[in-house]
Chains A and B, each alone.
Chain A
Amino acid sequence: MIFVPHATKLRPPLDERQIKRLRVGDFVSISERIITARDKAYARALESLRSGKRLPLDLRGAAIYHCGPLAMKTRGGWQVLSAGPTTSARLDSMQAEFVELTGVRALIGKGGVGEDVASELRRLGCIYLAFTGGAGVLAARAIKGVEKMLWQDLGTAEAIWVLRVRDFGPLVVAVDLHGGNIYLR
């Protein structure tokens, strides 16, 4: 078993007060719901939001997971087999605008974001949480079900997955709201 001392349990939707308590290096786990988005979903979401359209789901206070799951279609729907994080920095040019226009409060990924993006996230009241890259099966085990999949035409890896999770983690607070950035230590 993985022993993690004092993991803070988060249940999105999150507000600023909840994430302000967290400091770089803290361990966190998430229950209830996380929503995946990567390259193409970010781009499409921004295109909609810029032209004043609404997204098909409300992302205020949400935890966004940079992930393109490997899943298998079953009779009852989808079974997520492996779902580790993808490189967050690939989305850096879209990150701040995405967070600002959606009201997302936590990004989950791997490898961190650029320094300028980290300060933008702070200003917008959004933390960055790191999950172990490559730990796809460990992640999938915390996924208890697929609520829905949106924008499936982007492909299953690029679509938005709304996932029901229990104790998703261990996540490490890598960028906090107090100027902390684990990648600069």
Chain B
Amino acid sequence: MPLKNEFRDVVVEMLQRAATTLPKDIVDAIERSRKRERNKIATVQFDCMLKNLELARKLGVPICQDTGIPIFFVKLGSELDLGFDLVRALSDAIKRAARAVPLRQNAVDPLTGKKSNAGQPIVHIDLIRGKHLQIDILIKGAGSENWSRLYMLRPTDGQAAIKRAVLFAVAESGGKPCPPTIVGVGVGGSADVACLLAKRALLRPLGTSNRDRGLADLELRLADAANEFGIGPMGLGGRTTVLGVHVEKAACHMASLPVAINFQCWAARRASARLVDDRLVVEVP
């Protein structure tokens, strides 16, 4: 297991990488979408996105001024002996990255609006068997997060209601969550679990569909239907409103049908690292 400082520095590198570059699957999807557009305003939006990515990478500065709030997903082997406080190490990494990258101070008290880090960082820990460790980070801006939705549907309304809920959320948000978005959908579980599933769905690279064939089919049909809206990049009109729809599900009470929706803006900033031979190694997606 790496030492605390080593671990912290790898997380700083992850935050740096996530804030300044996008994973290849996202860039590829933006480039493909640009080719499909037929109107000048839409192609100019995509050109601006791509030019911006090139500049951010070259200058090593954040793609977007909203450097978001980092959300950590940790898979922690229950037999792994860390030897340090994981959450404190993540918190130290954010502090370092805030100066080094730099990141904008976004965390405030929800009532007073004053700068605060109480309750931060946001860390979701999954205990898994063995000695493995994997860390995934989403850098989540407010523009897309603000359009999150939770619907408690009637179970008898089934798939048709799920589709209506997702498409309604896409139509309602229009150009505001910085489309083309990735739409994360969590179905089932409970109110809290559905929200987490929706967010976790955003970690999945574009172009990978759900292993469940029913869900994979639902994902494709939702994406096609969303793109029919013509909302387009930044809501200015065009063929690409979503880059993808990712659906995850969990069993739930027979009298419930929770559906949560979480939007990821086109600047889908994420990073992953996992333990390889006792070293935390950043994956370059």
- Interface residues, chain A, with chain B CB atoms under 8 Å away: 1-5, 25, 27, 40, 67-70, 72, 81-84, 86-87, 89-90, 110-112, 130, 132-138, 140-141, 155-157, 170, 172, 174, 182-183, 185
In angstroms, Cα B52 to Cα A2, docked, is 11
- Interface residues, chain B, with chain A CB atoms under 8 Å away: 40-41, 44-45, 47-49, 51-52, 55-56, 59, 61-67, 102-106, 113, 115, 142-143, 146, 174-176, 178, 233-237, 265-267
Q: Which residues of B are found within 8 Å of A68, using beta-carbon distances? A: 65-66, 104
Q: How many A-B residue pairs have CB under 8 A?
A: 135
Least CB distance from B55 to A in Å reads 4
In angstroms, Cα B105 to Cα A90, docked, is 19
The one of A81, A89, A111 in contact with B234, judged by C-beta atoms closer than 8 angstroms, is A111
In angstroms, Cα B104 to Cα A136, docked, is 12
Q: Which residue of B lies closest to A2 (CB)?
A: B47
10 pairs of residues in contact across A and B, judged by CB atoms under 8 Å: A27-B44, A67-B65, A70-B67, A82-B67, A89-B176, A112-B175, A132-B234, A134-B63, A137-B56, A137-B59
Least CB distance from A165 to B in Å reads 15
In angstroms, Cα B62 to Cα A25, docked, is 29
> Contacts A5-B40, A137-B56, A138-B51: A40 and B67 contacting too (C-beta < 8 A)?
no
> Contacts A5-B40, A84-B65: A134 and B265 contacting too (C-beta < 8 A)?
yes
Name, among B49, B52, B113, the residue most crowded by chain A CB atoms within 10 Å (CB to CB): B52
Q: Which residues of A are found within 8 Å of B41, using beta-carbon distances? A: 25, 172, 182
Q: Which residues of B are found within 8 Å of A112, using beta-carbon distances? A: 174-176, 235
Q: Which residues of A are found within 8 Å of B48, using beta-carbon distances? A: 2, 132, 135, 138, 170
Are A132 and B115 in touch, CB under 8 angstroms? no
Are B178 and A136 in touch, CB under 8 angstroms? no
Q: Which residue of A lies closest to B266 (CB)?
A: A134
Given contacts A84-B52, A87-B142, A87-B143, 9 further A-B contacts (CB under 8 A): A2-B44, A70-B104, A81-B102, A110-B175, A130-B235, A133-B64, A133-B234, A172-B41, A182-B237
Are B47 and A136 in touch, CB under 8 angstroms? no
Least CB distance from A102 to B in Å reads 23
Least CB distance from B233 to A in Å reads 8
Least CB distance from B21 to A in Å reads 12
In angstroms, Cα B177 to Cα A89, docked, is 11
> Contacts A27-B44, A134-B266, A170-B48: A155 and B115 contacting too (C-beta < 8 A)?
yes
Q: Which residues of B are found within 8 Å of A4, using beta-carbon distances? A: 44
Are A82 and B62 in touch, CB under 8 angstroms? yes
Q: Which residues of A are found within 8 Å of B265, using beta-carbon distances? A: 133-134
The one of A67, A89, A130, A136 in contact with B62, judged by C-beta atoms closer than 8 angstroms, is A136
Q: Which residues of B are found within 8 Å of A70, using beta-carbon distances? A: 62, 65, 67, 102-104
